[in-house]
Amino acid sequence: MGAIRDFFFPTVKPTSVTDVDAALRPFTVQETLLNNVGAGMTATRGQAMSIPAIQRAQQIICATIGSLPLEQYVKATGAHTDAPRVIHQPDPSTTGAIVYSYTASDLFFYGAAFWQCTDAYAEDGRVRAAQYIPYSRISPQLDASGTKIIGYYIDNVPAPLSGIGSIIPFYALSDGLLFKAGRTIRAALALEEAAERFAKEPIPTMVLKSTGTNLPAERISNLMNSWKAARQSRATAFLNADVDISTIGYDPKNLQLNEARQYIALELSRACGLPAHFISAEVTSMTYSNTLQERRALVDFSLRPILTAIEQTLSQSGKFIPNGYDIRFDLDDFLRGSALERAQVYEILNRIGAMSVEQIQEEEDLIR
């Protein structure tokens, strides 16, 4: 059908002029990417953060990423070199941990995050300082066909394509949580609201029925108020012969409210890409040995997509660092084994000549 429409109503492609300074910024977007910087959210961040399971998942993933150090390496040799200050502390007015934690949070929820260049080197235009910009303040500027991002608006004002004031986008490797798990988030909200109702009114809905004549509205209101006030002071109730009581609805046990909330927590852990026991969605027996394995699994399946998005954006040629270098998160301390495990590894590496005693001492912070 689309081919027939295109045949009779061909699209006239506008003539475009390539801006060399902005050549790295415009790119063709897929449907997922366009949704993440435009429309398509099926839940809000406020709704998501009101759910304890998501709040815990966000804290584990984003706070962990914010606490990880970043290192610079030479691409050709893999040698470690000192990274510029913008890598460790992008915004001079706050800590790097705050900036990276908020950046990871936007990637987690929206699938996109944004910085704004606040200072640049005069000789090559590399970013010298940048500030985090909340996702809600950014909107994309598309070309005539609506398939390519050619710039960004910040607070509905066009941002420069390069240099100071330009927008630096970070894109996740998949949809943000709010775009892919909206139905599950809304179901969790409904269950939380149900739990709140039962916490305030721990018994099923009661109906007072007159067995005699119809009562006027004023007497009904007085009867209801008296009943409510009496229930706040004592559990035992007395009814006259002309008033009867019955209940409607179900109690939390019959509704299996606890089971439903546990199931939704498990589904949300899957949507967040986080092992269920990290947010107590399932009960497991953890020991020191499998805790280390779980940390490695956390990195591989939960943190890695966001880590990669940040690393590759920071490693773009000429954007933050000179050509020929890479930026990577240092996971050594996070994945650090026990003292016995480290000693065994060092012993093997020293025996085969891969590490000297001085290097081992430096790795263990034994050199003062």
User: Residue 328 carries which DSSP code?
Assistant: E
Helix (H) or strand (E) holding 245: strand 243-248
Q: What is the mean pLDDT of residues 230-243?
A: 67
Specify the 3-state DSSP secondary structure of 35: helix
Which backbone phi and psi does 62 adopt, to 5 degrees? Answer: -80, -40
* Domain match, 135 and 234 both: no
* Domain match, 235 and 359 both: no
For the segment 74-123, what is each residue's pLDDT rounded down to a tens digit?
Answer: 988 888 889 999 999 999 999 999 999 999 999 999 999 999 999 999 88
Percent of the chain with pLDDT over 70: 71
For the segment 22-73, what is each residue's pLDDT rounded down to a tens digit?
Answer: 333 344 444 445 555 545 667 889 999 988 889 999 999 999 999 999 999 9
* Domain match, 124 and 60 both: yes
* Domain match, 241 and 284 both: no
d(CA 37, CA 223): 56
Is the confidence at residue 189, as pLDDT, over 80? yes
* Domain match, 235 and 307 both: no
Decide if 177 contacts 108 (C-beta within 8 A). yes
Residue whose entry in the numeric block shows the structure tokens 């409210």: 257
d(CA 108, CA 138): 16
Query: What CATH code is carried by the domain that includes residue 239?
Result: 3.30.1120
pLDDT at residue 291, as a whole number: 64
* Domain match, 241 and 346 both: no
**Pairing outcome for strands 205-210 and 112-120:** unpaired
* Domain match, 3 and 108 both: yes
The secondary structure of the chain in percent helix, strand, coil, rounded to multiples of 5, reads 45, 15, 35
Is the confidence at residue 10, as pLDDT, over 60? no
User: Residue 317 carries which DSSP code?
Assistant: B
Question: Count of domains in the chain?
Answer: 3
d(CA 81, CA 71): 8
Percent of the chain with pLDDT over 90: 32
- CA dist 277 to 61, 268, 292, 335, Å? 14, 12, 14, 19
Q: State which residues form the domain around 218.
A: 205-248
DSSP string, 48-88: HHTSHHHHHHHHHHHHHHHHS-EEEEETTT--EEPPPHHHH
Query: What CATH code is carried by the domain that includes residue 108?
Result: 1.20.1270.210
Q: Which of 124-138, 194-208, 222-236 has the highest mean pLDDT?
A: 124-138
Average pLDDT, the chain: 78
Read off the tokens for 143.
Answer: 């070309």
Among 221, 248, 275, where does a domain finish? 248
- CA dist 323 to 22, 83, 207, 314, 318, Å? 18, 13, 75, 12, 6
* Domain match, 218 and 298 both: no
For the segment 196-225, what is each residue's pLDDT rounded down to a tens digit?
Answer: 666 665 555 666 677 767 777 887 787 778
Q: What is the mean pLDDT of residues 152-166?
A: 92
Handedness of CA 19, 25, 29, 35 (dihedral sign): negative
